[in-house]
Structure 1
Amino acid sequence: MVVLGSREQLCIHDQVSQLHGKTQTNACHALCKKRTKRYCAHFSRVTEFVKNNSSLGDDPIDIEDLVNLGRSSGPCPYYLSRELHKAVDILFAPYNYLIDRGNRKSLSIDWNDSILIFDEAHNLEGLCADAASFDLPSGLLTACISEAKNCIDLSITRRDMSSDESCNPDNFAILRALLLKLEKRIAEVPIESRELGFTKAGPYMYELLAELNITQETATMLMNIIDKACVLLEEDGNTSESGGLNKANGFVCKLETMGDILRLIFRDNSTAHAQYYRLHVQEVEASAKDAFRGKTSRTLSWWCFNPGIAMEEFSRLGVGSIILTSGTLSPLDSFAEELKLEFPVRLENPHVISGSHIWAGVAPVGPSGYSFNSSYRNRGSVEYKLELGNAIVNFARIVPDGLLVFFPSYYLMEQCIDCWKTNGQKKLTNSNTVWERMCKFKSPVVEPRQASLFSLAIEDYTTKLKEATTSGAIFFAVCRGKVSEGLDFADHAGRAVVITGLPFAAMTEPKVRLKREYLDQQAHPKKINSNGLTGEEWYSQQASRAVNQAVGRVIRHQHDYGAIILCDERFTYSNRQSQISLWIQPHLKCYSKFGDVVYTLTRFFRDGGTRGPTKLELARKDYQEDLKVSESHLLGKFHLNKTLVHQATPIYPAFSLETASSVRQIKQEKDSGKLREIVPANRSHLTPDKHLLDSSVICSSDLNLRKRTLILSSNQNIDGLDGDTGGLIAPCSSKKPSLLITGPNQSNHYEKFEKQLKNLVKSEHLQVTETVGTQIPQESVEVLVGDESFAQKKSLANKNWEHLQKDVVFQNVPHNDEKKGSAFLSQVREKLNDAEYKEFVNFMKALKSKTMKIGHVLQSIARLFSFPDRISLLHGYHIFDYNVFVTVIYLPFLLVML
């Protein structure tokens, strides 16, 4: 096995290694000619070294190994890899070594029955199309004309000084004249609309060049002239006055690009491939360096819209199998259609993690109920940006360690950050900006546009992850950017990823517009009986693949866990969800209220990404021992260019200690209380706009909220549950068991309850006395909106309870039973939808028919009532006291409903 690399990676020549690109390639070729005085000593040792080390290649050899061999033993690492690849069984190489025709031919590989494996193949479609396309801007054409003029002067000088006639200046003069005509012809192309440009079908390229007398017959001669010009210019550019290589001269021959363009157009001496192309001339504002030529600049483009051209060549070469691997290839049908290969064997695997290690949800609205929609029409709104910022503040507080936030574009990311730093230019006294509130919880890092600054951003993120002053770091990045494509944010480097919108390409961008038109034309004759990919389908799938690629940065191994948060209402649509990665779809839920997102996300991270007990049982373990954090569970390797280090998430004191004390209190207390309450799924109270409440959102009918359910026997009491609510939101990745506790007398209690119910149903006159005067324990979830907490620390349950103390005291008032029961049922009918009310009725019928025990009925009712607008149904009637339950709900239900 051997790895192929470029000269920039492998060259060890003192001078050539200082050069780059095609300049380095040509300098290497010059030094490898045996008759030159500066013959490369490293190149001459390759053959002998391979001969004396016949076992070389039996063990894997990577780029570092090749360079070390070259420095220690002398052979050129670049040409050594070229010799070894002829004999090894497995060869690793970059995409362009296989896709680019020139690179592929230089490998001299026997392709017959070979197996090609393309990893991260979601980029293959674009790479194949780009490799078969070109752009010729006016600046490049001008540079080629200038180089042709230099060739004329150099060839005349050489002929006069040394009688060297190998380079004829007349040929270079012809080349320059043709380039001048091409420049003039492009400038004469009529462009009526700068936005639309000038577009023709692919074969029009041959008509345009024929006007310049460039045809299949003359193109070969022209390409030979260009090759000689490149050699002449590079020899002059790389040679100093002393005769050595000029290391300081970074000369790159532009004419070589023109030669590649001609080879692409006249490939295989055929014009058949032109049907898959579109010719486009675009006019843009001239750059600073081209401003002297006019206010505008033009670019001639020949774009290939059939990436299958490159893949079909492998079939002609006799390749046995082609394997594409990636986590974001789906939908596979359209991907295969694009590449023009059938792929009869297809496999979509689930993720290696269990369902308890992933939280995936759609948040269509923000903390104040404003809809999330990053479409072009909405993204400029200050309200949208501030709502998104407030949501991210909540996520930064809940999610431990690393948080990744992806935007559709650099422009939108920069606009949002600017808005958060100024609160949308709103002057608010004594109020922190959204950005300042984010920084309280996590240190921010922003992905730079410049590729040269990216490594510094990664180092900054790594450093901030370890800062003790915050709960981690937040990385603002862009879909299709460097962060989203290749990095591994495992374990604490990425506990959650937030997608702020769908990264659609600009619809007016010429290449995107023409690609859609091309696909629509190709699909039109197939629409009746085929699955031809339309332009709209391709456009939508490209955005979804970018989302899937960004989402894949987290949850990187079997023991990892994390959250995926989709903040755009368009993710609630079924067609959009169907394009999400298959491994995410079973776990994806839609939450109509932001409070539900906060609650369930908080519970997920409090459980450390693991699911609590699945059945009712009294835990008799040492809870203090359970609260210890397993080092093997918390520590993991970071994989950000091998720069991230181990880091354990600290246990948040307000959470772990209070929980432990509460549990110990439960264990120590003796029989002293009645069944109190099941904690509602959500205690957050939002005030969304009315039009948002009326809008229809496709949501899961059963939000599987992992509620902390406390089921206590009548002789148990809970103390400490009404503590500091900050611990609920505080980041903590320790594994904490859910508290599902039932007392040892629970079964007898239910039997006694059912017996009482039976007697009460038979009785014609009920005497029930119940005085209400005990505080209900509660917990709340804080949802930050603006700079204030809208969590009701003195929850709505307290207010209802105080009202109940004044007005709802049952003291021997049997004649009011039916009236009170009817009022309660009316409220139930009003609060529940039709399906939920039918479910409620079925619970009561099941209780009457004894097919369901009272404990299960109470839990089921709690699930239906555990939403902010229904809490009054739980607390206002204190239904978990069985006497009140029978008096106010069960018997009136029999009288009214049955």
Structure 2
Amino acid sequence: MPTYNLRGINVDFPYEAYDCQLVYMEKVIQALQTKSNALLESPTGTGKTLCLLCATLAWRKSLGGFSRGRSERSSQLSSQDPDESSRESQSSKLPTIIYTSRTHSQLRQVIQELKSTNYRPKMVVLGSREQLCIHEKVRSLHGKAQTNACHALCKKRKKHYCAHFSRVSEFLRSNPGLGDEPVDIEDLVNIGRSCGPCPYYLSRELHKVVDILFTPYNYLIDRGYRKTLNIEWQNSVLIFDEAHNLEGLCADAASFDLPSSLLSACISEAKSCVDLSISRRDKSNDKSCKPDNFAILRALLLKLEKRIAEVPIDSKELGFTKPGPYIYELLADLNVTTKTATMLIDIIDEAVLLLEEDANISDDGGQKTKGTVCRLESMGDIFRLIFRDNYSHANNYRVHVQEVEGSTLDAFKGKTSRILSWWCFNPGIAMEEFSRFGVRSIVLTSGTLSPMDSFAEELKLEFPIRLENPHVITENQIWAGVVPAGPSGYAFNSSYRSRDSLEYKQELGNAIVNFARIVPDGLLVFFPSYYLLDQCIGCWKTMGHTNLSNSSTIWERICKYKLPVVEPRQSSLFPMSIEDYMTKLKDKSASGAVFFAVCRGKVSEGLDFADHAGRAVVITGIPFATRTDPKVRLKREYLDEHAQLQQLGQKNSQALTGEEWYSQQASRAVNQAVGRVIRHRHDYGAIIFCDERFSNSNRQSQMSLWMQPHVKCYSKFGDVVFTLTRFFRDGGICGPTKLELTRNSCQGNVESSQPLDKLHSDKLLTTDTSCTVVSVSSPKKRGTSLSHLTEVVPANRSSLTSHKLNIGLKLSSNANLLSHLSTNMQSSFKDAIGSTNYDLSGTKSSQCIAPCSLKKPRLVITGHEQTESFEKSDEPSCSRENSHATSYSTGFLKNEKLQWFNDRSKQNAQDSRRLLESEVKVKNMTCTSIDPKDKEKNSASTASNDEERKGSAFLIQVQEKLTDAEYKEFVSFMKALKSKAMKIGHVLQSIARFKDYIPAKYHSMYDHHVQANQNVAGL
């Protein structure tokens, strides 16, 4: 295992580290050594979690080793109240590392990474009772009911004592090495079930002596839960992994929404408490039952309900808004102040306990398996939040009352439903608390933190250590492009002005049909919102070709190439959709699957679509939050107000404005969705931005820094098809099939692709067309250097449509590409390849670029068999390995004015219409080597009237595009070819820009072969 010395610390790393990984680890150590906060961005796939663990643990180990075998020091449990057991002072003042991530599933992955290292710190994972409790009856309860039931069973004076809790102390004494090896929540539960100790209290006791503690970060952000952890914060290191959502979570944790339905439920529960307390007092003569307190609580809640209902709302859209301190004014009218709030909260807690005891404790003291949801518990949390800091942060809040659509019953009664909200717009409030605790360093890391200035400004912390890391992949492993317009030239713009238009949805659908056929295996398509996703899919399922009543719909054409899965709105259905996607991805009957999802949804957060699971991601628009949403509008106003105040006080201040925040939030959502592909060093994929606004330099500057150099803007959809097809044909040079490549061999300069020539780009697809191309099997063993050219697929083959191209190719040996070309060029040119994208009816073809999946077997089709096979076969348009050239351009021209497609944008539509009216299908040139015995048959065939008619129609099309001089030159050229009077050396040079049809790495062989033919020909 390699060891690296970084800032005087020896870091053991499981593998040979890349340069960016060494830089990342050095920044982590720098932050820890200097007691500084760090903001570290490193793309997904660069091993940031492993780097973070190794660097942090190496630094911690250098201070004096790990605390192994010390579990017995924490085995004294309080018999009265386990959660309030005194905090045991640690024998060492060495820093504790607190490693947090968003979810337990992410923490599980972190622990797997820890197992791959040499480091074995004492560790534990914290979880909730719902995850860790193994008591047969308590585990069926939820929330406060579960907590209270657990506390009751852990008190020794109770008849029904929890046996699992009683075994914790003994188990820790007998197993001092617990935590010396990595354990996760499942391991703790298995220990409890096999050996008896309670996993929940096992972790709570063990965390007092560990070197590193793993926990979801909502456990720390929530003040109430944080207090129960009894963590020694002084000099600790706090790490937030996957921290891109941290600012939003901090703000939400300090805010509340009180809908009318919740308030009504609380009033009803208060009434139940009055009745229960009277009943208990009468039955048992228990003077501790005080129904008057619950009656006061009910009366107060009724007044609050009335007060909210009386708030004047002039505009339903704007609602009623006041500054944050207004909440205290509103409650003061109800006689709820700082002095009375504590008493009120105590009454609510008593009411909650009374209701839970009634719901969960049976007459004999046994636990019912039925839990209860107590609404008053939420009301207690609201009052705690309001009065927790003695008005100190009120100016960072806004009070908002809005009317919403209530239930049908409320509407029938004429009762309006309102929501009282107290929103925090300063997420730094939660983070500032950690600084006050004496935390040594706070390290925030993610793959999408950019732009960092605004991120740091929002959290109100100083981050002197910052890093925006590059990716470990090479240039040829990523295709990133902005697609401003679709196949027909209609602009992509998902703003509210154009997103509802039929043209936009149709254009986007046709583009996705193309992508579904080009991209192999898994395709992810992200929409800005569920609304747009539903609208587009609904439209695609009904929209076909306007001129053909029986044509396939856009949705059917997508399904032809990719099996679809749509992200559900309901969280409970999400695991099923993921399973469905993976199943369809493995389906051999299709060339992959497509997952339609939403930015900021579950698919875009934390899921790993590595290798074939995600070969490309399509971003269909910028996911701006709804401007009219009250919370968004007030957040922007809050930031603008503070920016103005800050600028008045500091002339050089760079305060974050509302518009900047609004834009950056959308960019972060895009960056997060983009991170679903290219998940490791040997992965590769494409990132497609289908919105013209991504062409803006300011928008691109907000993309992750590693991605910015790779993003190119394309003026034509044909260029996108051309380069994307070539990428997946040649792509993955450093992909999963090349695992033998090492870091050093992958860091050299990669040959840059030749610029797309204007001549060829005009021939590419500009609409939804069919382009099925047949590949032939290539020998497993390569021959001479020239034989490599047999693997070259012409770069322009995406322009050849199946309804005009009838190519049959038989390769009997491993002869090189140009040898076949020489033979084929001597054959008759009585027919030529059609180059339009339309069929005889004038409608767009229902097919598009063939998929590049490796799943399908290659076909060898010749002659008359081919046309039928095009319609039935799902053969890919290209293959990444051992592909033979199967089609060649016959666009012979001697100056650059001659083009199959004119790029004069103003005349494109008119020219295409004229072509449609006059176009007659022509039989395409067969590039098969012709035996001399067959030449007479071919000559007879070309003499037929049908052939002459098609040839005349073709010449009419050519004449429309050329000047008289150019047309004469073209005719003479074709005659020379037909009569075989032209030497092959001239033919090679006469093919305009044929070199562009060959990938850059074969250019030297091509030049050599051309020169050799010229020498043979005596030129």
Please report the TM-score for the alignment, with normalisation by the length of structure 2: 0.65
**In the alignment, what sits opposite 1:400?**
520
SS at structure 2 position matched to 1:484: coil
Q: Does 2:531 match 1:411?
A: yes
Would you say 1:172 and 2:172 are equivalent positions? no
Q: Given that residues 200 and 279 in structure 1 are in contact (C-alpha distance below 8 angstroms), is that contact kept between their aligned partners in structure 2?
A: yes
Secondary structure of the 1:392 match is helix
Q: Report the Cα distance in structure 2 between the residues aligned to 1:196 and 1:550, rounded to whole angstroms.
A: 32
Query: For 1:548 and 1:790, how far apart are their aligned partners in 2?
Result: 48
Q: Distance between the aligned counterparts of 1:266 and 1:571, measured in 2?
A: 45
Looking at structure 2, the residues matched to 672 and 293 of structure 1 have their Cα atoms a distance apart, in angstroms, of 87
- Could you report, residue by residue, the CA deviation over 1:110-140 in whole angstroms, capped at 9, with x for unpaired residues? 1011111111101000000000000001111
Q: How does 1:178-189 map to 2 (within 5 A)?
A: 178-189=300-311
SS at 2:605 equivalent: helix
Match of 2:629 in 1: 509
Q: Deviations over 1:446-496 (max 9, x none)?
A: 111111111111111111111122111111111111111121000000100
User: Is 1:77 matched with 2:77?
Assistant: no
Matched, 1:59 2:205: no
Pair 1:808 & 2:959 matched = no
Q: How far apart, in 1, do the equivalents of 2:541 and 2:328 lie?
A: 54
Answer yes or no: is 1:93 the counterpart of 2:244: no
Is the 8 Å Cα contact of residues 242 and 445 (structure 2) preserved in structure 1?
yes
Does residue 620 (structure 1) correspond to residue 784 (structure 2)? The answer is yes
Whether the 8 Å contact between 1:610 and 1:735 is mirrored in structure 2 is no
Q: Percent identity over the alignment?
A: 67
- Match in the other structure for 2:371: 250
The aligned counterpart of 1:870 is none
Which residue type is aligned with residue 430 of structure 2?
A
Residue 890 of structure 1 corresponds to none
Residue number among 546, 551, 560 corresponding to 1:440 in the alignment:
560
**Residues 272 and 544 of structure 1, relative CA distance in 2, 3 Å threshold:** same
Is it true that 1:157 corresponds to 2:279 in the alignment?
yes
Measured in 1, the distance between the counterparts of 2:130 and 2:806 equals 54
After TM superposition, give the deviation of residue 735 of structure 1 in Å. Answer: 3.3
Out of 542, 546, 557, the position equivalent to 1:422 is 542
Query: In structure 1, what is the Cα distance between the partners aligned to 2:826 and 2:301?
Result: 90
- Equivalenced residues, count: 724
The question of 1:261 aligning with 2:388 is answered no
What is the DSSP-based 3-state SS (H/G/I as helix, E as strand, rest coil) of the residue aligned with 1:664?
coil
SS in structure 2 at match of 1:473: strand
Within 5 Å, give how 1:762-777 maps onto structure 2: none
- Residue 387 (str. 1) matches residue 551 (str. 2): no
CA distance in 1, matches of 2:954, 2:251: 62
- Give the counterpart letter for 2:466 in structure 1: R
1:664 equivalent to 2:815? Answer yes
Offset of residue 96 of structure 1:
1.1
Give, in whole Å, the separation in 2 of the partners of 1:449 and 1:203: 36
Q: Is residue 612 of structure 2 the alignment partner of residue 492 of structure 1?
A: yes
Give the whole-Å Cα distance in 1 for the aligned partners of 2:806 and 2:223. Answer: 61
Q: What are the superposed Cα offsets for residues 59-103 of structure 1, whole Å, 9 maximum, x if unpaired?
A: 111001100110011111011110111111111111111101111
Question: Is 1:550 matched up with 2:648?
Answer: no
Q: Residue 459 of structure 1 aligns with which residue? A: 579
Matching residue's letter, 1:316: R
> 1:24: how far off?
1.9
Report matched runs for 1:470-485 at 5 Å: 470-485=590-605
In 1, Cα distance between the equivalents of 2:518 and 2:227?
A: 55
C-alpha displacement of 1:286: 0.9
2:229 match: 107
Q: Write the distance in 2 (CA, Å) between the matches of 1:454 and 1:225.
A: 40
In the TM superposition, residue 576 of structure 1 has moved relative to its aligned partner by 0.7
CA distance 1:730–1:31, shift in 2 (3 Å): same
Partner of 1:742: none
CA change 1:805–1:210 in 2 (3 A) is: closer
Identify the residue that residue 876 of structure 2 maps to in structure 1: 730
2: CA distance, partners of 1:659 / 1:130: 66
Displacement, 1:428?
Answer: 3.2
Q: 1:370-381 residue pairs with structure 2 within 5 A?
A: 370-381=490-501
Counterpart Cα distance in 1 of 2:883 and 2:808:
14
For the structure 1 residues 389 and 442, does the alpha-carbon distance in structure 2 shift closer, same or farther, using more than 3 Å as the test? same
Which deviations, in whole Å up to 9, do the C-alpha atoms of 1:388-443 show, x marking residues without a partner?
00000000010000111111111111111111111179573231111111111111
Whether contact under 8 Å (1:685, 1:790) holds in the other structure is no
Alignment of 1:589-668 (within 5 A): 589-610=712-733, 620-621=784-785, 664-666=815-817
Q: Partner of 1:246: helix, strand, or coil?
A: coil
Q: Which residue of the other structure, out of 694, 699, 702, is the alignment partner of 1:576?
A: 699
Question: 1:609–1:735: 8 Å Cα contact kept in structure 2?
Answer: no
Partner in structure 2 of residue 709 of structure 1: none
The Cα of 1:792 is off from its aligned counterpart by 10
CA-CA distance at 1:148 after TM superposition = 1.0
Greater mean alpha carbon deviation, residues 727-736 or residues 333-342: 727-736
Output the CA distance in 1 between the equivalents of 2:516 and 2:658: 38
- How far has the Cα of 1:192 moved from its partner? 0.5
Structure 1's 862 and 329: CA in aligned 2 closer, same or farther, altered over 3 A?
Answer: same
Q: Which residue, out of 442, 457, 469, partners 1:349?
A: 469
Distance 2:753 2:695 in 1: 32
Corresponding residue number in structure 1 for 2:251 = 129
On the 8 A contact 1:655/1:730 being kept in 2, the answer is no
1:26-37 aligned at under 5 Å gives the runs 26-37=148-159
CA–CA distance in 2 between the matches of 1:568 and 1:92?
Answer: 40
Question: Quick one: structure 1 residues 465 and 674, their matched pair in 2 at CA, closer, same or farther if it must change by over 3 Å?
Answer: closer
Q: Which amino acid in structure 1 is aligned with residue 221 of structure 2?
A: I
Question: Which secondary structure state, in structure 2, belongs to the residue aligned with residue 111 of structure 1?
Answer: coil
Task: Give the SS at the match of 1:272.
Answer: coil
How far the C-alpha of 1:46 sits from its partner, in A, is: 1.1
Could you say if the C-alpha distance between residues 251 and 182 of structure 1 is closer, same or farther in structure 2, counting changes exceeding 3 Å?
same
Letter in 2 for 1:666: L
Give the deviation of 1:610 after TM superposition.
3.1
CA spacing shift, 1:252–1:293, aligned 2, 3 Å: farther
Q: Secondary structure at the match of 1:206?
A: helix
CA contact (8 A) 1:613 1:738 kept: no
What is the rounded CA distance, in whole Å, between the counterparts of 1:347 and 1:232 in structure 2? 53
Contact 1:504-1:539 within 8 A present in 2 as well: yes
Q: CA deviation at 1:729?
A: 8.9
Q: Is contact 2:400-2:422 (8 Å) kept?
A: yes
For normalisation by structure 1, the TM-score amounts to 0.74
Instruction: Note if 1:227 corresponds to 2:349.
Output: yes
Deviations 1:850-880 (A, max 9, x none): xxxx9xx9999889999xxxxxxxxxxxxxx
Q: 1:734 deviation in Å?
A: 2.8
- Evaluate the alpha carbon distance shift between residue 52 and residue 670 of structure 1 in structure 2; reply closer, same or farther with a 3 A threshold: closer
Q: Deviations over 1:605-648 (max 9, x none)?
A: 011333997799x98359689979xxxxxxxxxxxxxxxxxxxx
Shift of 1:583: 1.4
Report the CA distance between 1:7 and its aligned residue.
Answer: 1.1
Structure 2: gaps of 5 or more residues: 1-122, 735-749, 755-781, 793-804, 828-832, 839-861, 886-891, 902-911, 926-952, 973-985, 999-1012, 1015-1019
Amino acid at match of 2:881: K
Contact 1:400 1:732 in 2 (8 A): no
Q: Distance in 1 between matches of 2:317 and 2:470?
A: 44
| Aligned 1:712-791 pairs, distance under 5 A | 730=876, 734-736=880-882
Quick one: which amino acid aligns to residue 14 of structure 1? E
Quote the Cα distance in structure 1 between the aligned partners of 2:365 and 2:924. 86
Judge which range, 576-585 or 603-612, deviates more: 603-612
Change in Cα spacing, 1:668 to 1:235, as seen in structure 2 (3 Å) is same
Shift of 1:777: 15
Tell me the equivalent position of 1:639: none
What residue is the counterpart of 1:334 in the other structure?
454
SS at match of 1:199: strand
Cα shift at 1:288: 3.8
Identify which of 197, 200, 213 aligns with 2:319: 197
The aligned residue for residue 423 of structure 2 is 303
Counterpart code for 1:581: S
CA-CA distance at 1:166 after TM superposition: 2.4
Paired residue type of 2:374? C
- Helix, strand or coil: the match of 2:317? coil
